[in-house]
Amino acid sequence: MKKNIVTEVVDHELCIGCGLCAALCPEEALEMTWNRYGEYNPLEIEPCTRGCGLCLKVCPFADHEEDEGTIGEALYGSVPWIGHRPEVGYHLATFVGHADEHRSAGASGGMATWLLERLLAEGIVDHVVCVAPTGDPERLFSFSVFDDPPAVRAGAGSAYCPVEMSGAIRQILENPGRYAVTGLPCYIKAIRLAQKKDPKLSARVVVTVGLVCGQLKSRPFTEYIASLAGLVGEVKGVRYRGKSQEQPATNYHYAFTSTAGDERKIFWNDGIAEAWTNRWFTPRACNYCDDVFAECADVTFMDAWLPDYSKDYRGTNLVVVRSPLIEDLIRRGVRDGGLLAGPVPVEDVIQSQAAVVEIKRRHLAHRLYLDLEMGRVVLRKRVCPAREKSPSLRREIALKDRMRRSSRAFWAESEDPDAGRLREAMVPDLKRLSRGRKMARIMALPIRTVIYVRGHFRGKHHE
Ligand SMILES: Cc1cc2nc3c(=O)[nH]c(=O)nc-3n(C[C@H](O)[C@H](O)[C@H](O)COP(=O)(O)OP(=O)(O)OC[C@H]3O[C@@H](n4cnc5c(N)ncnc54)[C@H](O)[C@@H]3O)c2cc1C
């Protein structure tokens, strides 16, 4: 049997469900469908006879010579005055701010939607491909093509659920024009790999807009949180980034509507955080991602998770720009008042995502080490396999991976999955995690005391 996307990626649970393989397959042999865990995977609807391997060549999680570092270097390495940091990739300019008119609907400061509108309004692109709600419980969001600047606002907000882009990519291939496309880091990488193989895609996708990503979530994550919120009926719509005046930006809420006409909302601190940070319902592919800042994108947007900004419930963006064209647009936006933004050190940008950087570098190194130990396939990443030195972190990585796997299996295997029962099943591991953290704090106490005492005496000496 010839190697293809199913044998090499899907069967190893490494598919993130972007859909580039299905869009580019010359035999149209692949179709994106839901797997039993509520993640998108390509399904072979026709037996593959050609065996060209294009599906693998455009897959962000297949084994390649190229990675986000080499792709980024080819795209941006020769841009004058551009800097590079291993955590961020290339960076020409870094900003903090928001777009006044787009802020309330935006996930953070609304700058991504502002930019997409501006690209259309100035005729830099003819079409914008971004994610918008569908109102269809079967697939809550889809990649949609917009041609009219105000229409792009329908896509404002973040979709923390699987969205595949095979249909949108086919539309780009069938309809000439210049397109801007939004995407998570792995989706943008897939587009870049596909552009190398397809001259039409290369010519037509002229702007890529990346979003920082800590992890994607499967569809049951949304069902779990809706159930936790007490929603009656099937989820028909969800707004993942609701803002409330009385809460800081960090305690945003999800607002659900159901097929039964019910409406519920639930705050980050009331259960979302537990599922999110413990990696419940995270696809396995996310465990093997080393790109935090969408290094292959012309511009990357994220939340300003820094003490100076995260209290402001209205939301604030940090932005990493790699393309001179985008830098010019943003600077002009600031001058004409559409944007309230200014420069910020790249160190602050890295600091804002410190937890994600740690997961995608330090935790990843340990996971790769475990794969090596267990005789499993070790993926080629920019991080080398290395056994984690801290016993408590080793334990935390193991516990979170167990919760990731069991939450996924629980929802797939239950006839009538319910948030209460899932949470009950997770309690033993949550307790182990909390005990481990307490122990780590106690063990660190003597070290902290020595540091304090030394600092104290040094301080006295200098007085
Ligand atoms: C799965 C996921 C994980 C994320 N993790 C982090 C994180 O760890 N740290 C962090 O700081 N930020 C993270 N973000 C990014 C953050 O949620 C905001 O999208 C970003 O700050 C832009 O905010 P904005 O107000 O400028 O965007 P908006 O003005 O709301 O515009 C966002 C644009 O992105 C598009 N979009 C939304 N969801 C998707 C999607 N799934 N795929 C492709 N396009 C999409 C929308 O259609 C819209 O055009 C994540 C986003 C997603 C979708």
Query: Where in the chain are the domains?
Result: 5-217+283-354, 383-462
Q: How far is the CA of 160 from the centre of ligand 1 (A)?
A: 8
CA-to-CA distance for 151 and 360, rounded, in angstroms? 35
* Residues 231-267 pLDDT 10s: 999 999 999 999 999 999 999 999 999 999 999 999 9
| pLDDT score, position 456 | 62
Question: How many other C-beta atoms are found inside a 10 Å radius of the C-beta of residue 378?
Answer: 16
Residue 132 alpha carbon, nearest atom of ligand 1: 47
Instruction: For residue 31, give Cα distances in angstroms to 3, 5, 42.
Output: 17, 12, 5
Walk along the chain (463 residues) and give the pLDDT tens digit of each residue. Answer: 678 999 999 999 999 999 999 999 999 999 999 999 999 999 999 988 888 999 999 999 999 999 999 999 999 999 999 999 999 999 999 999 999 999 999 999 999 999 999 999 999 999 999 999 999 999 999 999 999 999 999 999 999 999 999 999 999 999 999 999 999 999 999 999 999 999 999 999 999 999 999 999 999 999 999 999 999 999 999 999 999 999 999 999 999 999 999 999 999 999 999 999 999 999 999 999 999 999 999 999 999 999 999 999 999 999 999 999 999 999 999 999 999 999 999 999 999 999 999 999 999 999 999 999 999 989 999 999 999 999 999 999 999 999 999 999 999 999 888 999 999 999 999 999 999 888 888 877 777 777 666 766 554 443 3
| pLDDT score, position 461 | 41
| pLDDT score, position 54 | 97
Dihedral (C-alpha) 301, 381, 393, 309: value to the nearest 10 degrees? -10
Strand pairing partners for 31? 43
Residue 303 alpha carbon, nearest atom of ligand 1: 11
- 353: closest CA among 4, 94, 71, 35? 94
Residue 156 alpha carbon, nearest atom of ligand 1: 30
- 238: closest CA among 213, 251, 211, 219? 219
Ligand 1 pocket: which of 125, 158, 179 to mutate (most atoms within 8 A of CB) = 158
Place of tokens 């930019």: 115
| pLDDT score, position 2 | 78
Task: Give the pair of three-digit tokens for residue 10.
Answer: 């899907």
Q: How far is the CA of 418 from the centre of ligand 1 (A)?
A: 28
| pLDDT score, position 445 | 73
What do you get for the CA distance between the two ends of the chain, in Å? 76
Ligand 1 binding pocket, CB closer than 6 Å:
102, 106-113, 116, 130-132, 155-160, 163, 182-184, 211-214, 216, 301-303, 305, 317, 353, 356
Go through the chain and tell me how many residues it has.
463
The b/e string for 66-101 (b: 16+ C-beta within 10 A; e otherwise) is ebbbebbeebbeeeeebeeeebbbbbbbbbbbbbee
Alpha helical stretches, state H, 14-127: 20-24, 54-57, 68-76, 111-121
Place of tokens 């787009």: 102
Q: Phi/psi at 33 (nearest 5 deg)? A: -135, 165
